A and B are shown apart, each in its own frame.
Chain A
Amino acid sequence: MAPAVEMRSIVKTFPGVTANDGVDFSVEKGEIHGLLGENGAGKTVLMSILYGLYRPDAGEIYIDGERAEIESPAAAMSLGIGMVHQHFMLVPSLTVAENVVLGREPTRKGLIDEGEMLERVRASCAEFRLDVDIEAPVHTLSVGVQQRVEILKALHRGADILILDEPTAVLTPQEVEDLFMAIRAFTDQGKTVIFISHKLREVLSICDRITVLKRGKVVGTVEASETDMGELAEMMVGRRVVYSFEKAKVAPGEAMLTVEGLEALDDRGVPTLRGVDLEVRGSEILGLAGVEGNGQTELVEALMGLREAREGRVSLGSTDITGASPDERIRAGVSHIPEDRHKRGFIPDFSVTDNLILGSHREARFTRWGFVIDYEAAAGHAQALVEDYSIVTPGVGTHAGNLSGGNQQKVIVAREFDRNPRLVIAAQPTRGLDVGATEYVRKKLLDMRDGGSAVLLVSADLDEIWALSDRIAVIYEGRIVAVRDPAETDETELGLLMTGGRRG
């Protein structure tokens, strides 16, 4: 039997980058095939070619043994290929049903036939056993449910080959289990699934076969039953990766950050922090676990003075900083790695030097006569940081936006850690980074802790929380519902706490 998908010698280059360099990729009918690789390895590009979003520069595609020219997503869909993107392709203000039928709406006399639309979508829900409220506007749904809508949309359009791009990145452990059950059900119905991920454990647990990509090339395809995490990691990175850190035993110091009864509103004016109590001590990493949207973003902003605290107190050491401006907080010794690095972390159009002195640009060492920036001193400082933090850049004058994601993050980390902060607030510090950069940033966080700083680590990645935290706090609906010693809890308990299933 011909393979469901066969891609031969696919080449795709973007200005300055070869994303796919002669990739051969083949998927059997009815299998769950993992596509594994670091960020930038070319996984998403390869699948975007299969889905008609990009045209390859060279190479051929065969679907069920037939040569196919896939010029657009519409063409891919007519060949039975569906894709669930990492960033959802749902229109927030439209209902689930409208999103599902968008582009192929049932009509009567030129108008949308609402009854027929609902009936068809409901039928698909039943057929694929996906349970959603199809009349709800998408923006009212949780991320996990939105993903279900994406899958429903693809299957409703007759997808036999379903591409899932990093589907578990935004899910809780329980939601991941549900997703895996759904995926297995699809293959039972004869459908084929391509599962893109950089999480080894997941790929091993769900996939039949795994293809590893590295720098645009195929490293190899292996049977999941005949490999292990170590081998896959080596294929991905090209060397052994340390998966558990040697954490030195350090006795925690005095309370550095104390939060009492903190309340704040979100951007829409909804009370989102509803009485947060939290303490982070010196020489300690406190991991904050939680499903995204439970107040993490607002908490970090409130702690940095970017969001008004309506009630409660925030203290740094013995100083009350509740009403302090961001600048005052920075000078008091708070460093911040923001969750959205493009929005808050750095300025892409500024040079590496400018980005490295942001926030400290008024200090005497970077100024002349008290008001003009001393660019020589700044560049010298930047050069030193680039070396200390192994930032890969053509020079300190390069626009920071031209660096890779990992190096952009290193610029931020270098700037923030160079201030010798008493408190580090790290929000999603390794999001979107490849294995190498992730390892680096995590090690730096541990170094800060060993050096006596207090670290508040906010992460959606439970593995990261596990690997680094001395204590784990769980946030749910704007409150800290539990604080646990990592040695005395497990993933199931955390998962339950994160979803409000159990009170601490």
Chain B
Amino acid sequence: MVGLVDVISVGLFAAALRMATPIVYAALGGIFSERVGIINIGLEGTMLASAFAGVTASYYTGNPWLGVVVAVLVGGLIGLLHAILTVKFVGNQIVSGTGINIFAMGFTAYMSQIIWGSRGASEGVRGLGTWNIPFIADLPVVGPIIGSHSPLVYLMLVVTVLSYVVLFRTPLGLRIRAVGEHPTAAETAGIDVLRVKYLCVILSGMLAGLGGAFLSLGHLNLFTRGMTGGRGFIAMAAMIFGKWMPFGAFGASLLFGLADALQMRLQSLGLLPPQIILTIPYLLTVAVLAGVVGKARPPSDYKPYKRE
């Protein structure tokens, strides 16, 4: 049982933070969208498309930061598409989101074939590398866990705090919450409901885009087919588990990240068949949702809003 003790190490927690990062981004994206009453089930596809776009941009320019910018733009564009379909044309939110997921899956594989001659994976590109945070990186225990990560991990921490501040401390946040919960009340208070919805759904796509950029540029430095592996859906679970609150979603994502990290480590021990170990994060998702569904009160009824 020496193996199991080795699994619980500082390395595990560092990996958990890393694995949680894309989930946090997508969950925050989900929060902004659902807080204005639009379900964004397309987070998965948005992340995938952005992961692909980021790698492509880095591949052609050699600049991974430009890749991040492109990934965020692509995420924002997909968010805009979702907003046009669901807000302007009052289309079904699930159909639009599912369409985004299917399209992203097929399109990225197809383009990968065209650019790199392989449906499975791209060539390696320049990634973002890691930052060593001076002083903190040298601390015992804490240092190895949070001292040395991709810059997008640190950005994720900042974005989580910012999301909280925006939602709960600014006029915009108050309006976002009002729009989701009672759009007619917001409208009669002089708020442009549709504009707030557009803004938040686009932002939702951009945040998922950052999650995608982390996967491809902050983590693997290449694109592989279906590399999001259901993290967009896990992010929705984290969002619900975290009660649509940024810090709640952050905590829930850490839990899922830990499950992911644990799964990777257990695999290397070879105690159980890898197929079984791989299911851990997904089983956790099911278990968590089974425990909270029904008790979680969504911030909106997600009904389409039409101005008379």
Whether A associates with B in a native complex is yes
Nearest-CB distance from A71 to chain B (Å)? 11
Is there an interface contact between B170 and A103, defined as CB atoms closer than 8 Å?
A: no
A91 with B188, Cβ < 8 A, contacts A107-B171, A112-B170 known: no
With beta carbons under 8 angstroms apart, the residue of A53, A90, A112, A153 that contacts B174 is A112
Q: How far is the CA of A103 from the CA of B187 in the complex (A)?
A: 9
A72 to B191, CA, bound (A): 10
B189 close to chain A: CB less than 8 A: yes
* Contact of B182 (CB < 8 Å), options: A53, A91, A105: A91
User: How many Å from the CB of B302 to the closest CB on chain A?
Assistant: 16
> Of residues 183 to 227 in B, which have CB atoms within 8 Å of A's CB atoms?
184-191
Q: How many residues of A contact B (CB 8 A)?
A: 28
Interface check A273, CB cutoff 8 A: no
- List A contacts of B188 (CB < 8 A): 51, 53, 73, 83, 85, 89
CB neighbours (8 Å) of A104 from chain B are 190
Number of residue pairs A-B, CB distance < 8 angstroms: 66
Q: Which of A92-100, A225-233, A393-401 contacts B (4 or more CB under 8 A)?
A: A92-100
B170/A110 in contact, CB under 8 A: yes
Contact present for A105 and B174 (CB under 8 Å): yes
Q: Mark B148-188, 1 if CB is under 8 A from A, else 0.
A: 00000000000000000100011100110110011011111
- SS class of chain B's interface: helix, strand, loop or mixed? helix
Decide yes or no whether A467 CB sits under 8 A from chain B. Answer: no
A105 to B186, CA, bound (A): 13
Q: In whole angstroms, how far apart are the Cα atoms of A217 and B300 in the complex?
A: 39
Question: CA of A92 to CA of B187 in the docked complex: distance in angstroms?
Answer: 15
Question: Residue B181 contacts which of A48, A88, A93, A110 (CB distance < 8 angstroms)?
Answer: A93
Q: Are B186 and A111 in contact (CB under 8 A)?
A: no
**A347 CB, nearest partner CB in chain B, Å:** 19
Chain A residues contacting B186 (CB-CB under 8 Å) are 91, 102-103
A110 CB to nearest B CB, Å: 6
Given A72-B190, A89-B189, answer yes or no on A112-B178 (Cβ-Cβ < 8 Å): no
Q: What 0/1 readout, one digit per residue, does chain A (50-86) give for beta carbons within 8 Å of chain B?
A: 0101100000000000000000111001000001010
Q: How long is the Cα–Cα vector from A77 to B190 in the complex, in angstroms?
A: 8
**B179 and chain A: residue at smallest CB distance:** A91
* A48 to B188 alpha-carbon distance, docked (Å): 10
A159 to chain B, nearest CB (A): 12
**B187 engages A73 (CB within 8 Å):** yes
Instruction: Please indicate the chain B residues that have their CB under 8 angstroms from the CB of A111 in the complex.
Output: 165, 169-170
A88 CA to B182 CA in the complex, in Å?
Answer: 10
Chain A residues contacting B178 (CB-CB under 8 Å) are: 91, 94, 102
Shortest CB–CB separation between residue A21 and chain B, in angstroms? 19
Q: Closest 5 A-B residue pairs measured CB to CB?
A: A74-B190, A103-B189, A89-B185, A105-B171, A103-B190
A sample of 15 inter-chain contacts (CB < 8 A) reads A53-B188, A72-B190, A73-B188, A73-B190, A90-B182, A90-B185, A91-B181, A92-B182, A102-B185, A102-B186, A104-B190, A105-B174, A107-B170, A111-B169, A112-B169
- Residues of chain B whose beta carbon lies under 8 Å from any beta carbon of chain A: 165, 169-171, 174-175, 177-178, 181-182, 184-191, 299, 308
In addition to A73-B188, A93-B299, 9 A-B residue pairs with Cβ atoms within 8 Å of each other are A73-B189, A77-B190, A88-B185, A89-B182, A94-B174, A94-B178, A94-B181, A103-B191, A112-B174
**A interface vs B, CB < 8 Å?**
48, 51, 53-54, 72-74, 77, 83, 85, 88-94, 98-99, 102-105, 107, 110-112, 153
